[in-house]
Structure 1
Amino acid sequence: MERLAFKMYLNEGQKEEYRKRHNELWPELRQLLKGAGVSEYSIFLDEETSTLFAFQKVSGDGGSQDLGQTEIVKKWWAFMADLMKTNPDNSPVSIPLEEVFYME
């Protein structure tokens, strides 16, 4: 099991809408993530900086960030683009984070 973490950036004032959309995560997207080996996925918000911190447990070759060529992920990115900082293809600006400590 691999642990992945990355940060993204929420636009000001979008916390509640971001939460709402994730609480209503599309079943087909949930199924895609689970099928890709993502067994846990949490996103935390630092409200002072509007930085989102994401954490995933993944079994397999990669996490959610490797599913960008699927139609459902492209559709999700377009759906979320008005809430967060994005790249020209609507993918979230996402910066991988290096693990520097882990305790079991």
Structure 2
Amino acid sequence: MQRVCFLLNVRKDRIDAYRERHAAVWPDMLAALSAAGWHNYSLFLREDGLLVGYLETEDFDAAREAMAATEVNERWQRDMADFFEQPEAADDAMVPLAEVFHLA
């Protein structure tokens, strides 16, 4: 199982709305993530907008491609685009961090 961690930046003026949106993720989005192989997916948000994402998957590239092929992800990415400081879509800005330690 591949462990993936990535960083994004939520716009400071959208932090509360970002939290609200993730308190009620669409059921079809949750189902698509699971079907695409995203497991133990978590998002952590710092008060300054730093977002840390973590997930486990067999193949991160394949999991991202599977999500990119879904209609619900297209809608979600479009609806979430103005929450982020990055100019590209959040899915495209997910650059995995190098793991340097893991306590098994």
TM-score range, shorter chain: 0.7 to 0.9
Q: Give the structure-2-normalised TM-score.
A: 0.82
Bigger share in helix: 2
Secondary structure of the residue aligned to 2:69 is coil
Shift of the alpha carbon at 1:16? 1.5
Q: What is the RMSD computed on CA atoms of the aligned residues?
A: 1.8
**Are the structure 2 counterparts of residues 72 and 86 from structure 1 closer, same or farther at C-alpha, using a change threshold of 3 Å?**
farther
Secondary structure of the residue aligned to 1:100 is coil
Secondary structure of the residue aligned to 2:41 is strand
Report what 2:34 is aligned to: 34
1:56 aligns with 2:55: yes
Report what 1:100 is aligned to: 100
Shift of the alpha carbon at 1:22? 1.0
Q: Give the structure-1-normalised TM-score.
A: 0.82
Secondary structure of the residue aligned to 2:51 is strand
CA distance, structure 1, for counterparts of residue 23 and residue 73 of structure 2: 16
Report what 1:22 is aligned to: 22
Shift of the alpha carbon at 1:65? 3.5
Of all paired residues, the percent bearing the same amino acid is 30
Deviations 1:25-62 (A, max 9, x none): 111110111111212111112324x221100012x332
User: Any runs of at least 4 consecutive aligned residues in structure 1 with deviations exceeding 3 A, and if so which?
Assistant: 63-66
Secondary structure of the residue aligned to 2:60 is coil
Secondary structure of the residue aligned to 2:29 is helix
Report what 2:12 is aligned to: 12
2:59 alignment partner AA: D
